[in-house]
Structure 1
Amino acid sequence: MADRTGKPLATTGAVPAAVVPGNGDSPRGFLLAAVAYACWGFLPLFMKGIAHIPAAEVVAHRIVWSVPLVGAFILWLGRTADLKVALRSPRMLAMAALTATLVTFNWGVYVWAISVGRTLEAALGYYINPLFSIFLGAVLLKEKLNRAQLVAIGFAVAAVAIIAVDAGGLPWVSLGLCVSWGFYAFFRKTLPVGPNQGFFLEVMLLSVPSLAYIVYLESSGQGHFTDTGIADVVWLISSGVVTAVPLLFYANGAKLLRLSTIGIMQYIAPSMVFLIAVFVFHEPFGMVKLMAFGLIWMALVIYTGSMLVESRNARQAAASLKA
């Protein structure tokens, strides 16, 4: 997920649910996933360009303009059967409404954070997300944590504590993004539809209140689509493009990659967001934040190393069974 921002869904082990373990990586899959992560990495630059528009209005347009793009893609693929089943199932519609609510909250916090100069906090939230997903798996699914995962989670908690003490309060932007996306990914796994169809179902459900909100803004003179010039029109329509297109690239690339490859690639986007925050937006990055991010980076190195070892052991075990 998608996210950050349309970013990819992660399982409780922070590996996208759409990915199926395979024998190797496809160059085409790597390219598609890399394009998706790069788009998400550059997303703060786009959001900064529309920082003068309220976050709620931006999110509403992201939803509305995503619908025709993803809908056309699904029709082109001829994969509408899952949607027809979902639309006839009250349980699936209820779960889609829940995940749609979570992703809307996530998008709203993200857009607002960029607009008010808190991009570093957004990057921190998405760095923490894989570790929070592991925590969710332990708490909700009773998955057993290994020693490396426990250490990694401990480092993440310490990083949040350092920032909280320095700021005089919890970094709610980071935690809001992390928690909302973590639960979104967790519940999204219960929707037995493909990633493209699931995303379309979510934005389709959201499109009705979003469109009503846009109509209200425009009719009351508060909107930016009809009253403020062609530039805002282009920006707002493009918000649907930058939301839907990376997700489509990712969904079709991830299934051609190994779990371990996606597990490493997921750090591309928050790393780019971090660099943009520091070197383009010039957000303050003092010693305290350096200590906190340092702990997070150490945690991710430990977690990723553990994941790669487990992946290698699983492949060796599978190979020995075939022998």
Structure 2
Amino acid sequence: MNQTRLGYLYGFVAYLIWGFFPVYLKLLRPAGAVEILAHRIVWSVVLVSLVLAAMRNVGFLRALARRPRTLAGIVAAAVLIAVNWGAYIYGVNSDRVVETALGYFINPLVVVLLGVFVLRERLRPAQWAALGVGALAVAVLTVDYGRLPYLALTLAFSFAGYGLVKKRLGLPAAEGFFVESAVLALPALAYLGWLASRGAATFGQLSAGHTALLVLAGAATAVPLMLFAGAANRLPLSGLGMLQYLAPILQLGCGVLIFDEPMPPARLAGFALVWVALVIFTMDALHRGRRTRAAARALEPVAAAR
């Protein structure tokens, strides 16, 4: 299997796991959202530390200790991903899987928005059009919900911010994820200890199956992230961009078809507008990619002649 096909396989499996993640989280009831989040953090650290030990790659910690700005960036990334994970678990546990799917549908548009306001990027007309349609979709959904879809917006902005920080840090996937999780591990352990002291913890109290599922939250978190990193290293951005819609499509299907969450006409119209915005955004990205590749091919004979 060549590297491109392997990249698509990694990406497909990663997004497939993320797409059906609501089903897994439902199995963790009656554990609360914060308890699940804490276990997700702690067992992720355990798993990734074992992976790094097997790779004999622990020397990077000494190098990081001499880079305070990078450490500050890692703390920021850790806070953002904790907010994202916590909001997502809360959304699934409160029977709002459809709204969590909306958050990941609008995430690419939020990434573009951050590019404008944080990186001072200039947008093409099609990107402005996609943002305009996306803003209209949020307005329609606000009317439908009777409130701002704050859960979806929290997920979209926290994950977009996390991606921005990670891009600036430029750390390898496993090492970066380990340090982020390690930053969160101490408060997570403190919370689990406090919960146990009050007799409110579900870990080890309900059944062996429930305990095992909480332990496996680490693998369910770390494995798709490492698969995603493998895909990102092998695929062009256009290919990776097309794959990213698989997870929210599956999450939406879980919410509507498995958990019987409502999808009234106004909500469906709001989602339809989001999809229109994503079609505009994706077609513009694909067109831009083709033009860039064509320009590069046109310059190849000139470079060879030199």
Q: Tell me which interval the TM-score lies in, with the shorter structure as reference length.
A: over 0.9
Matched, 1:159 2:134: no
- Count of residues paired in the alignment: 300
CA offset at residue 77 of structure 1?
3.2
Aligned counterparts of 1:229 and 1:218: Cα–Cα separation in 2: 16
* Structure 2 residue identity aligned to 1:149: Q
CA offset at residue 74 of structure 1?
2.5
CA offset at residue 195 of structure 1?
1.7
Aligned match of 1:177? 155
- Which of 210, 228, 234 aligns to 1:256? It is 234
* Structure 2 residue identity aligned to 1:87: A
Aligned match of 2:128? 150
TM-score, length-normalised on structure 1? Answer: 0.90
Aligned counterparts of 1:161 and 1:296: Cα–Cα separation in 2: 11
CA offset at residue 87 of structure 1?
2.8
Aligned counterparts of 2:59 and 2:125: Cα–Cα separation in 1: 43
State the SS of the aligned residue for 2:216: helix
CA offset at residue 25 of structure 1?
6.5
Aligned match of 1:305? 283
CA offset at residue 313 of structure 1?
0.9
Query: Mean alpha-carbon deviation: is it higher for 44-53 or for 74-83?
Result: 74-83
TM-score, length-normalised on structure 2? Answer: 0.94
Contact 2:231/2:240, CA 8 A, preserved across alignment: no
Matched, 1:118 2:83: no
CA offset at residue 250 of structure 1?
1.3
CA offset at residue 116 of structure 1?
1.0
CA offset at residue 68 of structure 1?
1.9
Aligned counterparts of 2:30 and 2:133: Cα–Cα separation in 1: 36
State the SS of the aligned residue for 2:234: coil
Aligned match of 2:304? none
Contact 2:126/2:280, CA 8 A, preserved across alignment: yes
* Structure 2 residue identity aligned to 1:206: L
Aligned match of 2:210? 232
Aligned match of 2:18? 40
- Which of 21, 37, 49 aligns to 1:71? It is 49
CA offset at residue 51 of structure 1?
3.3
Matched, 1:27 2:5: yes
Contact 1:221/1:227, CA 8 A, preserved across alignment: no
Aligned counterparts of 1:275 and 1:117: Cα–Cα separation in 2: 13
Aligned counterparts of 1:266 and 1:302: Cα–Cα separation in 2: 15
CA offsets 1:232-276 (integer angstroms, 9 cap, x no match): 211210111100111111111221111110011110100100111
CA offset at residue 159 of structure 1?
0.8
Q: Larger % of helix: which?
A: 2
Aligned counterparts of 2:223 and 2:145: Cα–Cα separation in 1: 36
Aligned match of 2:85? 107
Contact 2:33/2:86, CA 8 A, preserved across alignment: yes
Unaligned stretches of 5+ in structure 1?
Answer: 1-23
Aligned match of 1:3? none
Matched, 1:316 2:289: no
- Which of 279, 283, 287 aligns to 2:257? It is 279
CA offsets 1:56-104 (integer angstroms, 9 cap, x no match): 0000000000012112222333443433312332222221111111111
Query: Mean alpha-carbon deviation: is it higher for 84-93 or for 105-114?
Result: 84-93
State the SS of the aligned residue for 2:20: helix
Contact 1:82/1:193, CA 8 A, preserved across alignment: no
CA offset at residue 197 of structure 1?
1.1
Report matched runs for 1:84-103 at 5 Å.
Answer: 84-103=62-81
